[in-house]
Amino acid sequence: MALFSTLIGASVTVTAVTSGYIGLSTTVVAGLVLYPMIAEVATRLLQATIDRQDAAEASPDLPYYDARTYFG
């Protein structure tokens, strides 16, 4: 979490310096700087969702099985 916070702080600094230096609007530079980070976070969230779905599909679906019937 500290690394993510550091990356956000560094991105904001780079955005401010770059927008002042090359004369682009802050919004454009922020989009260029933050896009890779947003894409990475979105990719990880999607992969986690897919992994959970795969794990749920791999688990046995035995609604009729009740362990108490056999083991008390």
Instruction: Tell whether 4 is covered by a domain.
Output: no
Residue 11 is predicted with a pLDDT of 78
Instruction: Tell whether 20 is covered by a domain.
Output: no
Domain encompassing residue 48:
26-55
The rounded distance, in Å, linking the Cα atoms of 19 and 5 is 21
CA distances from 32 to 20, 53, 60 (A): 15, 32, 45
**CB half-sphere exposure, 6, CA atoms < 13 A:** 3
The token duo for 13 is 């600094």
Residue 36 is predicted with a pLDDT of 82
Counted domains in the chain: 1
- The closest alpha carbon to 30, from 13, 5, 6, 7, belongs to 13
Q: What is the pLDDT of residues 25-65, one digit of tens each?
A: 777 777 777 788 888 889 999 999 999 998 888 776 666 76
Residue 16 is predicted with a pLDDT of 75
Instruction: Tell whether 45 is covered by a domain.
Output: yes
Instruction: Tell whether 8 is covered by a domain.
Output: no
Q: What is the pLDDT averaged over residues 14-31? A: 73
Residue 9 is predicted with a pLDDT of 79
Residue 50 is predicted with a pLDDT of 95
